[in-house]
Chain A
Amino acid sequence: MALVDRIRSFRPPDFARLRPFRIDGATLGWMRHPFAEMLREFPDAFLVEDHQVALDPRLTTPAMRSDAVAAVVATLHAAGIIRKIRGETFPVSMSAGSPPLLALDRGAVPHFGTRACGVHLNGHVGRGDAMKLWVGRRAKDKSVAPGKFDNLVAGGQPSGLGLFDTLIKESREEADMAERLVRRARPAGFCSYLIEHDGGIRNDLLFNFDLELPADFEPRNTDGEIDEYQLWPIADVIERMAETEDFKFNVVLVNIDFLVRHGFLTPEDADYVEIVRGLRR
């Protein structure tokens, strides 16, 4: 097995199984046909056609759109179609950073296939070939990816917070890290993908942050979501990612991007071009 196998597992979806979700003519998400058909029951919010689902254009403000969609989401949740309401909304916008067109409950995002953004923090000690990377192991009772390896800190980007605010909040909650330490993190680009995963559509964009940590730093989990943190030599990270699926699926992308940026993959490798290409789609 090789790193490129992890990249290849991010297969583009079969678009014949999906229809676009549009607002004012712009495609904001992708839905499976059975879900799209259910939305015919809600003509005050959605105009469902065979080739697309459009949000009713009479909903002209973000607040009107959010309220109308939230009412539908609540009904579909009560009917058992949307399994979980998370009580946290994600912004739906034309592109990351542009004004949100509506806010959508996080639990409904995989059904609408709208873009979800997240922040991922790679904490490393040392530089060059002596570099080590902090790896967290997710708690065995987590509903998503239990027991898998994760970045030092990672979290979804909710409505109304700046990316750095989210990073600081997640770093405090997950790893007991002080704000003044996290503020030294440097943004380093992003990874993106659109796949069918775990029964839903994942249309994700992950903002990568790097933080060089002092050798005596020790993360400490306070919310019970991480069982333990370990400091791994880079070679171990590469081997474990190449040989196993022990890392959470999207953490692999973030880590490969980190490895590319820090010169741990060589462009002479026959897979290099495909690996780098696969980081942003």
Chain B
Amino acid sequence: MALVDRIRDVRPLDFSRVRPWRVDTVIVGWIPHQFAARLAPHPTVFEVDDSEVRLVAGLGDFAERSSAVDAVVRALVAEGAVARYRGESYAVGRQFHDAPLLSIDRGAAAQFGIRTYGVHCNGHVGTGDDMRIWVSRRAADKATWPGKLDHIAAGGQPIGLGLTENLIKECGEEAGIPPALAQQARPAGYVTFLTETIEGIDNGMIFSYDLTLPADFVPVAADREVEWFELWPVARVIERLAGSDDFVFDSALVTIDFLMRHGFLAPDDPDYVEIGHGLRR
């Protein structure tokens, strides 16, 4: 087993299983065919044919589009076609920095295959070969990826919040990192993927932040979503990443990007370039 296996695990989406979701001329998501069939009974909001799903033209502005789609999502939650309503709005649009065309509940993101954004914090102690990385284990009863290994703090990017602002919020909520410490985190690029998991379509862009933590800092699970935090030597992180799929797949990508940026992967390794390309697709 090797690190490159974590890259290869993230298989490209099988486009024969999905059809594009268009708003005006923009493809904003990828919808599985059987879910497209669930949208067909809502012709005032969605035009569904064999090749694509279109948001009905003329629904109005951002607020009107969002509210029309939200009504359908709530109906689908009631029918059980969408697992749950999260009460958190995600932006839907062409790309991150463009004004969103509408918003949609986070609980429906995987069915509509929209690009979702997130922030992950690589919390580490020390530099160079003495570096250690904080690892968390997700609670066994967490709705998504229970029991998997994860970052010290990470979160989805809701609409209307700045990225760094969101990072500071998640650091506080998930690990008890005080804002004054969290704001020392430095942005360090992003990873992307478009794949299908047991949770549905995952079309993600995760912004990575590196945070050097003092040696005496101990994270505190502010809620019951984390089973434990442990400070691991880099070699142990690499061994676990290479030898198992115990990390959430996206956290594995972000961590491998961190390892590459900080000089823990050897560029002479024939897998190096495949790994590098696999981090942004």
Chain A interfacial positions (CB closer than 8 Å to B): 95-98, 128, 162-164, 186-190, 192, 205, 207, 210, 260-263, 265-268, 270-273, 276-277, 280
Known: A261-B261, A270-B97. A95 touches B187 (CB 8 A): no
The residue from B96, B187, B266, B270 contacting A263, defined by CB atoms under 8 A apart = B187
A276 touches B280 (CB 8 A): yes
Selected A-B contacts with CB under 8 Å, 13 pairs:
A97-B269, A187-B260, A188-B260, A188-B262, A189-B260, A189-B276, A205-B273, A207-B267, A210-B263, A263-B188, A266-B164, A276-B189, A280-B280
The residue from A98, A268, A271 contacting B162, defined by CB atoms under 8 A apart = A268
Q: How far is the CB of A220 from chain B (nearest CB, A)?
A: 26
The residue from A95, A188, A268 contacting B273, defined by CB atoms under 8 A apart = A95
A262 touches B186 (CB 8 A): yes
A277 touches B280 (CB 8 A): yes
A280 touches B97 (CB 8 A): no
A97 touches B272 (CB 8 A): yes
Confirm or deny: B144 has a beta carbon within 8 angstroms of a beta carbon on chain A.
Answer: no
Q: Contact flags (1/0) for B263-281 with A, using CB distance below 8 Å?
A: 1011111111110110010
Chain B interfacial positions (CB closer than 8 Å to A): 95-97, 128, 162-164, 186-190, 205, 207, 210, 260-263, 265-274, 276-277, 280
B268 touches A163 (CB 8 A): yes
B268 touches A97 (CB 8 A): yes
The residue from A96, A164, A267, A273 contacting B272, defined by CB atoms under 8 A apart = A96
Complex CA gap A5/B267 in Å reads: 29
B188 touches A260 (CB 8 A): yes
CB neighbours of B272 from chain A (8 A): 96-97, 190
A273 touches B95 (CB 8 A): yes
Main secondary structure of the interface of B (DSSP, over half): mixed
Complex CA gap A266/B187 in Å reads: 7
The residue from B164, B188, B265, B277 contacting A261, defined by CB atoms under 8 A apart = B188
Identify the closest chain B residue to A164 (Cβ).
B268
A189 touches B277 (CB 8 A): no
CB neighbours of B274 from chain A (8 A): 95
Q: How far is the CB of A189 from chain B (nearest CB, A)?
A: 5
Ranked 3 nearest A-B pairs via Cβ: A263-B186, A186-B263, A97-B270
Identify the closest chain A residue to B192 (Cβ).
A277
Complex CA gap A98/B205 in Å reads: 30
CB neighbours of B273 from chain A (8 A): 95-97, 190, 192, 205
A268 touches B164 (CB 8 A): yes
Q: How far is the CB of A239 from chain B (nearest CB, A)?
A: 20
Q: Which of B189, B266, B269, B277 has the most CB of A within 10 A?
A: B189
Known: A189-B260, A262-B186. A267 touches B207 (CB 8 A): yes
Identify the closest chain B residue to A129 (Cβ).
B186
CB neighbours of B271 from chain A (8 A): 97
Q: How far is the CB of B51 from chain A (nearest CB, A)?
A: 27
The residue from B190, B207, B210, B263 contacting A187, defined by CB atoms under 8 A apart = B263
A261 touches B270 (CB 8 A): no
